[in-house]
Chains A and B, each alone.
Chain A
Amino acid sequence: MSLISLSISELQAQFRSKAVSPVEALEALEARIQAVDGEIAGYLNRDYAAALKAAQNADVNLPLGGVPIAIKDLINVKGESCTCASKILQGYRAPYDATVITRLKAAGAIPFGRTNMDEFAMGSSTENSAFAITRNPWDTDRIPGGSSGGSAAVVAADEAFASLGSDTGGSIRQPAALCGCVGLKPSYGRVSRFGLVAFASSLDQIGPFSKTVRDSALILNAISGHDPMDSTCLNEPVPDFTAKLGRDLKGVRLGMPKEYFVSGTDPQVDQAVRAAIKQYESLGAEIVEISLPHTQHAVAVYYIIATAEASANLARFDGVRYGHRTAEASNILEHYGRTREEGFGPEVKRRIILGTYVLSSGYYDAYYLRAQKVRTLIRQDFARAFEKVDAIICPTSPEAAFKVGDRSEDPLRMYLADIFTIAVNLAGICGISLPCGFAQVEGKPLPVGLQLIGKPFAEAELLQIAHAYEQSTNWHKARPVIG
């Protein structure tokens, strides 16, 4: 196996035995990026010189010592660009490190490269980037999923050992499923949001993409924990997330929500997920049918809450202090209008307008307040289910990757791509997507993702359950042929 295909654990073993140095690993990675990223467009930019310097000084005995990690372009890394794939932040350089970056650096990791995304994380295909359309490494005519499509694609294409993304309604898990890698959305409050450019503050959470479940556990170990800079980052104990990996599944109960196994899901996806469930049974897990009765309302609730919060969060992009500023404005109102008209793409504008509308006087109770009430019901659905089961098992996405341009004219259909992932964010619980097979579409294999959903702050158990399946299959070892 080539150096660039190694998992973090394998790479670290090479570092520590001095078979490979961090500089050599970085050089190999850079060569790979130069070879394939022209086709994938997973990266918006990267500072190789700075990363090389960090690699030269890396301490390989640290938990992530010398490991380069790609960063979604909405997480602040001091001195690097942070555009959120938006023209409104073109040329903007971050003046500080996000807490996750401070922690990654403390663990010895090297933040390397800014990955493409849907503008301000709004989208499910990465087509909403103002700068590039990232391609799915398994079929470059297809999208990688989104919004963290760049972070997923670079890991799947061996252009990164791992990456960070953010998940507001499925933005880590859905692209991980579509690109065939592991993607973890931690529980809300597990990882600090300080330095993550906010899309929807009550839903956003940073998480890892990796080639193996163990690697996600290693990264989560580094980035988790209370942060005095983020009031919503809870002071929960942080276990060693690798501690339970390798334990068997005796006595583990997995819930199959009937609302997630319905017509509308691609038959090949359905088949792959059901096969995975069979596999779990053979590993000793007990499968229990459960119900999450308010599932049908999740998408509607999400698009009210997320857009409402986004309309406020994105108000700061006004060209007064930083970012794009219109060249032609004769008064302050015109300045705001033109700056934002020129700076934001159509999906972002659509969501700002939706969010502004649902918060408007006279509509607040009917939309925002009601959505919050339904959100509580959705949270209760999960709480009840978790009285019976240890984790929930279902598809990550109802279908495999679709073609570039296929959905861009139909926002509603695009919104349904997140139908199985959104409720997890609304409930604030954790979820992981891992490869569970392939759908054969037009003669090409397209990855299918299995989603496991865990109790709040039960990432260690979730990773254990995911790891047991992963180790009993070879799906995670498959690599796309690029070019």
Chain B
Amino acid sequence: MKNYLVTIGLEVHVQLKTRSKMFCGCPVEFGAQPNTHTCPVCLGMPGALPVMNHQALKMTALTGLMLGCTIPPVCKFDRKHYFYPDMPKNYQISQYDLPLCLGGGVPLHQLAFPKDVQKTVANPDKVIPLTRIHLEEDVAKSTHFDASSGIDFNRAGTPLMEIVSDPEISSPEEAFAYLTSLKQILIYGNVSDADMEKGQMRCDCNISLRPEGQTELGTKIEIKNMNTISGVRRALAYEIERQTACLDRGEKLLQETRRWDDASGQTSLMRVKESEADYRYFPDPDLLPVKTEAIVAEVRPFVPELPATKRARFASQYGVSAYDAGVLANDLPLASYFEKAAANARNPKNVANWILNELLSSLSNTETGIEACPISPEHLDELVNVIDEGKISGKQGKEVFAEMFATGKAPGVIIEEKGLKQESDLGAIEALCDQAIAANPKAVAEYKSGKLASINFLKGQVMKLSQGKANPAVAGEVLAKKLA
């Protein structure tokens, strides 16, 4: 058995979050009644002409800036020809030799990798170089019934950004991390929701295997129809296994397109590519070439802080661990929540802990998104401050937190209602300590003979006497002083 080197390149199609379609005024809306968002332009009626959606150009330029692409001074749009019923004009307006963005790259990071490999990734901060990003129009959606097919043109003409990576991805896990990182950046830029299950982000994979030591790339095989990022990982893993077995048997692989079936976890042959399809590209005479300088200037102020910068800043500004910073920055709404909660926090690190432990588990238990979180960031901050100040115990904090999550009430109100205020008054605690010492001579003797852990028993007695309201830290200090 030989060892094989894996080469993967991804073509990612991203639906842009514009209000209207790429070349007409029809609204872009997922899930509307079929063929209700159409007009002569997106139906390819005779005489209709495309008009450029400026917002789509801006969003693609912004994506280019976020990913460090070069944006040449002029881009143009071309017609790509093929006949298919979901293509209203039987040509797609796309960009061929002068795309909007060239080069650039997607930076990976440890937490973008699948959980099971995060600890063992050799090169977690690899940057996957991009070939190009171009803009095109989406096609309609075909649905096949028993004896007929339906076409929904609502999707036809939706602005679609195609992001093409160089073939520099070397494992299914890296492909997973690439898509996760890319998705995060697209969400950061507010250019797409990039939800693969809604078709907002679609991925075609090109994969080839070659024996170790061979420089020439192996036969390129394309895989389509993955609906999730983990589906991409599984499809690639399956293909590596399948192709390895073929090559080990001495078979020659054919250049082909394969369809991933998520349920069976297998790919199957769609078509063999005997020759490159001839799309007969030529510049669309209905659209003028686009000068990009003004567009780039327009969007440059909107380049957001990117995930990598945010992670680093969270660690340095708030003192949270690199891991926690990563988890927070992975999810833009969560990161924003954290920043709001931590803004006035005495100890932002504790705020992060409460978010990553209590809050995330409550949200996940109730299947609530952070956007709909019943606890406002300000209230969470207040709760953490109250605990940090010793006004209530951590245990009480959890009780208050549960109530906050259930009712949305402010922590102060809940503490008041439940009479939970922690006793930190020195005089009161001293009295309780005296009581506990007097009632437990055995424990006192043990402590004095060197068994220092006995003080915890005494502290527990103080807590009991105070009905849990005493500040345990203060109680411990007082006891130690009295027994010294």
Interface positions of A (Cβ within 8 A of B): 74-76, 82, 84, 89, 92, 94-96, 98, 193-198, 200-202, 228-232, 308-309, 311-312, 315-318, 320-322, 332, 336, 356, 359-361, 364, 368
Contacts and interface: CB of A to CB of B under 8 A. Distances in A.
Interface string B266-296: 0000000000101011100111100000000
Which of A200, A317, A321 has most chain B Cβ within 10 Å? A321
Given A359-B280, A361-B278, A315 B91 contact: yes
A191 to B, nearest CB: 13
B161 interface: no
17 contacts: A75-B47, A84-B46, A92-B46, A95-B45, A195-B47, A196-B47, A201-B286, A228-B51, A229-B49, A312-B79, A312-B282, A315-B91, A316-B46, A316-B88, A317-B46, A318-B90, A364-B282
A321 B47 contact: no
Nearest to B38: A321
Interface residues of B, number: 30
Contact of A321 (B43, B91, B282, B288): B43
A82 B40 CA distance: 14
Interface string B38-71: 0010011111111110000000000000000000
Contact of A315 (B89, B282, B285): B89
A274 to B, nearest CB: 37
Nearest to A75: B47
A196 B46 CA distance: 8
A196 B45 CA distance: 11
A74 B286 CA distance: 17
Contact of B288 (A96, A196, A229, A231): A231
A256 to B, nearest CB: 32
A98 B47 contact: yes
A231 B89 contact: no
Nearest to A317: B46
A85 to B, nearest CB: 13
Interface string B159-194: 000000000000000000000000000000000000
B291 to A, nearest CB: 13
Nearest to A88: B46
B340 interface: no
A316 B44 CA distance: 7
A309 B288 CA distance: 15
Contacts of A316: 44, 46, 88-90
A115 to B, nearest CB: 16
A197 B47 contact: yes
Given A232-B286, A315-B83, A322-B45, 19 more contacts: A75-B47, A194-B47, A194-B48, A195-B47, A197-B47, A198-B47, A229-B49, A231-B50, A315-B89, A315-B91, A318-B83, A320-B85, A321-B88, A332-B84, A359-B280, A360-B278, A361-B276, A361-B280, A364-B282
A9 B121 CA distance: 83
B259 interface: no
In order of increasing CB-CB distance, the 8 nearest A-B pairs are A315-B90, A201-B285, A202-B285, A359-B280, A197-B46, A195-B47, A316-B44, A361-B278
Interface of B is mostly: loop
B442 to A, nearest CB: 91
Interface string B74-87: 00000101011100
Contacts of A92: 46
Contacts of A368: 282
Nearest to B24: A229
Given A316-B90, A336-B83, A359-B282, A76 B46 contact: yes
A39 to B, nearest CB: 30
Contacts of A76: 46-47
Contacts of A74: 46-47
A232 B285 contact: yes
A320 B140 CA distance: 13
A232 B288 contact: yes
Contacts of A75: 47
Nearest to A369: B282
A312 B45 CA distance: 14
A75 B79 CA distance: 23
A312 B47 contact: no
B51 A229 contact: yes
Given A84-B46, A96-B40, A231-B52, A312 B88 contact: no
A13 B65 CA distance: 63
